[in-house]
Structure 1
Amino acid sequence: MRKKLFTGSFVLLIVLLVAGIYYPLPYFVTEPGMAKKLAPIIHVENGYKEKGNFMLTTVRMGRANIYSYLEAKMKKYEEIYQEDMILGKEETQQEYNTIQLYMMASSKMNAIDVAYRKAGLPVQYKYKGIYVMQVLPGMPAEGALRLGDRIYKVDGHSFPSSKEFIDYVGRKKAGDRVTFTFSRNNEEKTVSLTLKPFKDDPKKVGIGISLVDDKDIVVDPKVKINTADIGGPSAGLMFTLEIYNQLTKNDLTKGYQIAGTGTMDVDGTVGPIGGIEQKIVAADKAGAEIFFAPNEKGAKNSNYRAAVKTARDIHTKMKIIPVDTFDDALKYLEKLPAK
């Protein structure tokens, strides 16, 4: 009898332990990710080689289970976020991932634009349509269009930019029907929707989507960036530095291991990102000697100040360099003595 009781209790314990792994909590956990060398994943046709390395830095994030939640409670550089702090209202995990991948694609495009123009090379765009980035509940697009759908014709017309698309729909009235041609999973589809006024602005009519341009950047020499499933816009600055370095003869790395983070706007502005503390830890573990951090024009709670505080806390010898623009990073590297 005791043996049966012991066996039953043991089996129940195993079931509970396994359930703890697979049962998700309404939280996300983030931790230091990796510092990844960019030369192997960015290739400019006939580009110049470098002695050192530029590296992007990442934060690893996943939905919490009981074990990862408890571990994060005990570790200094792991963070716990409530689900609604990561996912928007009624946003699914898949939709979040899709948006992150689009933001990465946009980040790469901006990096190419800034790097090529800085190198004195022409940049052109080929507009292909728009991506659906959000579908508003209660509007005509709900149930008909999905996040990630690519609309490339309206009533049989193609447009040179999203502005013309919006203007065309905006000239119509509530009750008018409009036909959209779009692709989903590489299949062409069409749907006709009746325009409806927006609740927050009844004077405007539409189908209820948020959209972004779908376009290709055209440059010579050609450039390829293979980021696989890495998402988000935070590698923009480091992409720009790596592309520019391959385009120009003088090696900006000068033999150093250089990590960093920050978004990149088409005007060369470096923007702030999340998880700077965890990225400092990741860069230090990878042996980075220099780290570029968004300065945010000297704001008290800037990424740069948080990065400096973390660097002191982990006793790294890595130099933390504040940057507001791509030019700031260039000026620092140009003055840097070669190893």
Structure 2
Amino acid sequence: MGSDRTLRFKSRKRWPLFTGVIVLAIVLILMNFISLPYYIYSPGEALPLQSMISVKGGHKPAKGEFMMTTVYVVYASNIYNFLYGLMLPHHQILPAPTVNGGLTNTEYNQLEAYMMTSAHQGAEIAALHYLHKPISVTTTGVMVLSVQRGTAAYGHLFPGDIITVMDGESLKDPNRILTILQHAKVGERVSLTVIRQGHIKHLLLHLMALPPLPGHHHERPGLGIFLAPAQVVHTPIHIVIHSGDIDGPSAGLMFTLEIINQLGSVNLTRGYRIAGTGTMSADGTVGQIGGAAHKIIAASNAGANYFFVPADTAAGDTNALHAEEEAKKIGTKMKVVPVSSLQQAISFLMSLPPKTS
């Protein structure tokens, strides 16, 4: 009897422990489904561009190289991703709306993918214009980058749609849509001709009230969509950029420099390792990007000699400021070079003495 009581006593002791393990397991599983609205940024890589870009009829200099820089981004879709992000070196936590502007993760990824495609195109146009090579650009309409939830357009227009006609007027001039909307009223219905994956769609949508523009006090009519020109580049020079699964617009400047380097007669790198970041407009303007401080670390780790960063030219610009602060903080020997244009970047490179060793 005593032996039986001892066994029963031990059995009862195990049940609370077993129950606790089960509860803990359930909690850990449920935590996997708790979404956290944060992105975690940390330094990525500095990637040589010679292997990414091929220009038919061009050449690849043996000395020196241009490098694009990346940021490693973790979307904290659950507590485990969040904790993983916290373990990354030099990490930065940003609220999701600050990064994606309120878009869903899928919508934000679509926008970033388009931005990379746009970076390819902008670099190609800027490089060929700089070299006075044959090129023409045809605007086919305006491309939908994203659609705000809760608008009449949501569920009817999608990222990648190309609007070619609004109320019977061609949108080959991207600014034409702004003129049309200036003379419209909230609640009015507009007709759209849309090209979606090669198929033509005809839509009727009502204009909604959008917040006033900076410096204005009145609501304005609109569809709640973000747009960019839809363009086709025509040139006999075949250029291919293989950027893989890297998204975003920030490699535009470095793409442009690499294309010029392969087509031109002078080695722009001067034998140095040149990293950098910055968007590139067709007219050669360098624009602000995200993650400048993280990219400084990536470039320094890769042994870059110089780093191009967008110059701070407008109120609120901070790329050059953050890059220079980070370079000083980590004690890198790499020189930070703020630039506002393609010409400024090339002039700096041509001022460098050729590296002999």
TM-score range, shorter chain: 0.7 to 0.9
Q: Which residue matches 1:24?
A: 35
User: Cα distance 1:14–1:192, how it changes in 2: closer, same or farther (>3 A)?
Assistant: same
Contact 2:114 2:145 in 1 (8 A): no
User: Which amino acid in structure 2 is aligned with residue 38 of structure 1?
Assistant: L
Q: Which residue matches 2:93?
A: 80
Q: Helix, strand or coil: the match of 2:35?
A: coil
Post-superposition shift, 1:278?
0.9
Matched, 1:316 2:316: no
- List aligned pairs for 1:27-176, cutoff 5 A: 27-51=38-62, 52-64=64-76, 65-70=78-83, 72=85, 77-89=90-102, 91-135=103-147, 140-154=152-166, 158-167=170-179
- In 2, the alpha carbon distance for the partners of 1:209 and 1:199 equals 13
- In 2, the alpha carbon distance for the partners of 1:318 and 1:47 equals 29
- In 2, the alpha carbon distance for the partners of 1:297 and 1:157 equals 37
The number of equivalent residue pairs is 338
- In 2, the alpha carbon distance for the partners of 1:226 and 1:317 equals 30
User: Cα distance 1:299–1:161, how it changes in 2: closer, same or farther (>3 A)?
Assistant: closer
Contact 2:185 2:207 in 1 (8 A): yes
Post-superposition shift, 1:125?
0.8
Q: Which residue matches 1:252?
A: 268
User: Cα distance 1:199–1:306, how it changes in 2: closer, same or farther (>3 A)?
Assistant: closer
TM-score, normalised to structure 1's length? 0.84
- In 2, the alpha carbon distance for the partners of 1:308 and 1:159 equals 42
Q: Which residue matches 1:292?
A: 308
User: Which amino acid in structure 2 is aligned with residue 88 of structure 1?
Assistant: G
Contact 2:42 2:88 in 1 (8 A): no
Contact 2:49 2:255 in 1 (8 A): yes
Which of these residues, 272, 278, 287, is aligned with residue 288 of structure 2? 272
- List aligned pairs for 1:221-260, cutoff 5 A: 221-260=237-276
Post-superposition shift, 1:98?
2.0
Post-superposition shift, 1:308?
2.9
TM-score, normalised to structure 2's length? 0.80
Deviations 1:120-157 (A, max 9, x none): 21331122222123445665434422333222344676
User: Cα distance 1:210–1:274, how it changes in 2: closer, same or farther (>3 A)?
Assistant: closer
Structure 1 stretch displaced more, 137-146 or 127-136? 137-146
Q: Helix, strand or coil: the match of 2:142?
A: strand
User: Which amino acid in structure 2 is aligned with residue 80 of structure 1?
Assistant: I
- In 2, the alpha carbon distance for the partners of 1:72 and 1:44 equals 38
Contact 1:271 1:296 in 2 (8 A): no
Deviations 1:191-235 (A, max 9, x none): 233556767598975545442211112223121222233222211
User: Cα distance 1:160–1:252, how it changes in 2: closer, same or farther (>3 A)?
Assistant: same
Q: Helix, strand or coil: the match of 1:251?
A: coil
Q: Helix, strand or coil: the match of 1:296?
A: coil
Q: Which residue matches 2:228?
A: 212
Structure 1 stretch displaced more, 12-21 or 246-255? 12-21
Contact 1:24 1:63 in 2 (8 A): no
Deviations 1:71-105 (A, max 9, x none): 5556661011122212324x211222222222222
Q: Helix, strand or coil: the match of 2:175?
A: helix
Query: What root-mean-square deviation, in Å, do the aligned CA atoms of Structure 1 and Structure 2 show?
Result: 3.3
User: Cα distance 1:4–1:182, how it changes in 2: closer, same or farther (>3 A)?
Assistant: same
Post-superposition shift, 1:287?
2.9
Contact 1:29 1:68 in 2 (8 A): no
Contact 1:262 1:293 in 2 (8 A): yes
Structure 1 stretch displaced more, 2-11 or 193-202? 193-202
- In 2, the alpha carbon distance for the partners of 1:300 and 1:163 equals 26
Q: Helix, strand or coil: the match of 1:214?
A: strand
User: Cα distance 1:14–1:35, how it changes in 2: closer, same or farther (>3 A)?
Assistant: farther
Structure 1 stretch displaced more, 145-154 or 4-13? 4-13
Q: Helix, strand or coil: the match of 1:162?
A: coil
Q: Unaligned regions of 5+ residues in structure 1, if any?
A: none
Structure 1 stretch displaced more, 241-250 or 276-285? 276-285
Q: Unaligned regions of 5+ residues in structure 2, if any?
A: 1-10
Post-superposition shift, 1:294?
2.1
